[in-house]
Structure 1
Amino acid sequence: MANKELHLLLVEDDDIDILNVKRSLRKLNLLNPIHVAHDGLEALYLLRGTETTPPIPSPTLILLDINMPRMNGLEFLREIRSDQQLHHLSVVVLTTSDEERDIVEAYQFHVAGYILKPVLPEKFFEVMVAIEKYWKLCEKTTS
């Protein structure tokens, strides 16, 4: 598995949060490819490809927001868990939603974790450190 490139798919509609994730990963020296989708529908297009665009490489990890336009995070989870080509993907929810029903439903779709986005930048970085540790575990299991 040496030299296998590990990919991250970030499904997030907030440009500031996208910037914070990218900045935190750079600070952690994680220079792996990051693919960004602004909602669940765009993420499905990236994962499945379209008539004119091939799919992205299978991501090692998906970071998923819940509250997004067109197709929200829970609808996206429902879709990938019912797709034989995508059901195995590892997903960590990173969202502002602390609604109990969202948390319960996300875990029913077998997410690896449900993390609330912190407001303060230094706390956001701490969350990304925890996600980075999980990602490293994913790397070891795909080797």
Structure 2
Amino acid sequence: MSDSSDAGRPAEILLVEDNPGDVRLTEEAFKEGQIENKLHVVTDGVEALDFLFKRGEYADAPCPDIVLLDLNLPRKNGDEVLEEIRSDADLAKVPVIILTSSGAESDVAKSYELHANAYLTKPVNPVEFVETIRSFNSFWLSIVRLPCDQR
């Protein structure tokens, strides 16, 4: 099962990642794992907020069921994006999973202070990275029940 609601529709996932290699690995993990959810990709914090708030070219963007958020982003970092998500009444209930290369305890603590739902450190090894994405899918999109019709 890889849907986000009782209606059986595929989950809308927003990946906020500026590293093209990590984007490619994530897309490959979804493809190899036959994960049929819709993956939307933006490459910086400003673009992420435009997507989430449906501004400019993202006026018709869907509200994501889950956000996978890197911390080290250009223009606005992941902490700033997370803070804006959590300060908006409509977006506050969207699960945000930090997916970053930083294993610093201060980054982990800050993410949870800003109400991230989970913190995943990206493995350097591509095979382990793909397994991390598969584990994310297994837990967040198969076991966890997500809120329906968030916006």
TM-score (ref. length: structure 2): 0.86
Q: Which residue of 1 aligns with 2:45?
A: 40
Q: Aligned AA for 2:129?
A: F
Residue 141 to residue 120, structure 1, CA distance change in 2 (3 Å): same
Task: Tell me which amino acid in the other structure corresponds to 1:137.
Answer: I
Q: Which consecutive aligned stretches of 4+ in structure 1 deviate over 2 angstroms post-superposition?
A: 1-5, 140-143
Q: Say which of 98, 106, 115 aligns to 1:101.
A: 106
Paired residues of 2:11 and 2:141 also in contact (CA < 8 A): no
Gaps (5+ residues) in structure 1?
A: none
1:55 positional shift: 4.2
More displaced 10-residue stretch of structure 1: 47-56 or 120-129 = 47-56
1:89 aligns with 2:97: no
Shift of 1:91: 0.8
SS in structure 1 at match of 2:68: strand
1:36-58 deviation digits (Å, cap 9, x = unpaired): 11112101101111256424212
Could you tell me whether the CA contact under 8 Å between 1:61 and 1:89 is conserved in 2?
A: yes
Say if 2:143 is the partner of 1:137. yes
- CA deviations on 1:14-37 (whole Å, 9 max, x unpaired) are 000000000001111112211111
User: How many residue pairs get matched?
Assistant: 142
State how far apart, in whole Å, the 1-side matches of 2:82 and 2:25 are: 23
Aligned to 1:60: 65
Coordinate RMSD, CA, aligned: 1.6
Residue type at the aligned position of 1:31: E
1:71 alignment counterpart? 76
Q: In structure 2, what residue type is equivalent to 1:101?
A: S
1:118 aligns with 2:118: no
Give the partner amino acid of 1:27.
Answer: E
Identity of aligned residues (%): 35
Give the AA of the match of 1:21: T
* Structure 2 Cα separation of the partners of residues 100 and 53 of structure 1: 34
Q: Distance in 1 between matches of 2:67 and 2:57?
A: 23
